């Protein structure tokens, strides 16, 4: 099975900072990569699919890039409401594996 890793596992940044989270697949997954945000006590929310397509309603400060094995999620200007754990998920076939998550704090 393809393994997903994320780095860093946690980060702390200031309001307005540019934040970048990296996700790496153990094999080529093309652009079959989604990103989710899970705020404390809430359910996961889809942010991005197909590596770079923003889900409807998601603020434009979120962006995704990458293909193959290396992907990034960028928050261009961190806001207090972005405190959450962010997960990547590959979906080029079963099993649709999640990364371990990156916790973002202010």
**Interface with another protein, residue 62, by CB under 8 A:** no
Nearer to another protein, 47 or 75 (CB): 47
Q: Check if the beta carbon of residue 61 is closer than 8 Å to that of residue 79.
A: yes
Burial of 49-69, coded b for 16+ CB within 10 Å and e otherwise, reads bebbebeeebeeebbbebeeb
x/- map, 66-95, another protein, by CB under 8 A:
---------------------x-x-xxxxx
Q: Check if the beta carbon of residue 99 is closer than 8 Å to that of residue 26.
A: no
**Interface with another protein, residue 34, by CB under 8 A:** yes
Which positions touch another protein (CB under 8 A)?
32, 34, 36, 38, 43-46, 49, 55, 87, 89, 91-101
């Amino acid at each position: 099975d393809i393994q997903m890793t994320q780095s860093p596992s946690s980060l702390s940044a200031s309001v307005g900072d540019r934040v970048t989270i990296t996700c790496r697949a153990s094999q080529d997954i093309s652009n079959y990569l989604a990103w989710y945000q899970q705020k404390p006590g809430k359910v996961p929310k889809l942010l991005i699919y197909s590596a770079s397509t923003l889900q409807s309603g998601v603020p434009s400060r979120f962006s995704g890039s990458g293909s193959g094995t290396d992907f990034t999620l960028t928050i261009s200007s961190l806001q207090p409401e972005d405190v959450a754990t962010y997960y990547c998920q590959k979906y080029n076939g079963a099993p649709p594996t999640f990364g371990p998550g990156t916790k973002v704090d202010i």
